[in-house]
Amino acid sequence: MPIAISLQADGESAIIKLFEHLLGYDQKAMFDEIGAYGVSSTEQRFLEQSDVNGNPWKQSWRARLQGGETGRDTGQLLSGLHHNVLSNGVEWGSDKQYSIPFHFGAHIVPKTGQYLVFNVGGNWRKVKEVTNPPRPFLGINQEDDEAILNIIGRHLSG
């Protein structure tokens, strides 16, 4: 199950008011640009190792042991980010199953047996449970909001 961002706002939102103004306007190119921006902004969070508000993620155990970065071991989570243009909007997110526990956090226990067994940096570990803290990477902050409004403005004036 992929994870994606969905934008909802009340009638007072400047973005929603602009979308309402665009009814009947060919919005596909605009939504495509917004989606590409959303993916780029999300990728930047992985590079900065921070959530949508700029708060640093808790470093993963693997990153700490190997001197790497959280969420960037194989690069699949980062490379799995994409956007889809819809008839009435755009969505962006990740198609990777583990994006959900990465974003929201998870408490993992063995399905069978007493232990979880896994390899980190060539060392086998055997534990009864693992709690992954949430490391939110999807969302829209004030900077994103302004960038999206600028994209909309360019399309309206062009």
Which tens digit of pLDDT belongs to each residue from 41-75? 999 999 999 999 999 999 987 888 888 888 887 77
The Cα 102–Cα 135 span in angstroms is 6
Judge contact between 18 and 149, C-beta under 8 A. Answer: yes
Q: Which domain holds residue 98?
A: 3-102+135-157
- The reply to whether 116 falls in a domain is no
Judge contact between 15 and 145, C-beta under 8 A. Answer: yes
34 confidence band (pLDDT: 50, 70, 90): very high
DSSP 25: S
Helices 142-157 and 14-21: crossing angle in degrees, nearest 10, is 20
- The reply to whether 47 falls in a domain is yes
Mean pLDDT of 79-96: 90
- The reply to whether 143 falls in a domain is yes
The Cα 45–Cα 80 span in angstroms is 14
Number of domains in the chain: 1
pLDDT for 123? 81
- The reply to whether 127 falls in a domain is no
- The reply to whether 125 falls in a domain is no
> Helix, strand, or coil here: 85?
strand
pLDDT for 1? 45
The Cα 64–Cα 114 span in angstroms is 26
> Rg of the Cα trace of the chain?
19
Name the more confident of 66 and 90: 90
Burial of 120 (0-12, 13-18, 19+ CB in 10 A): middle
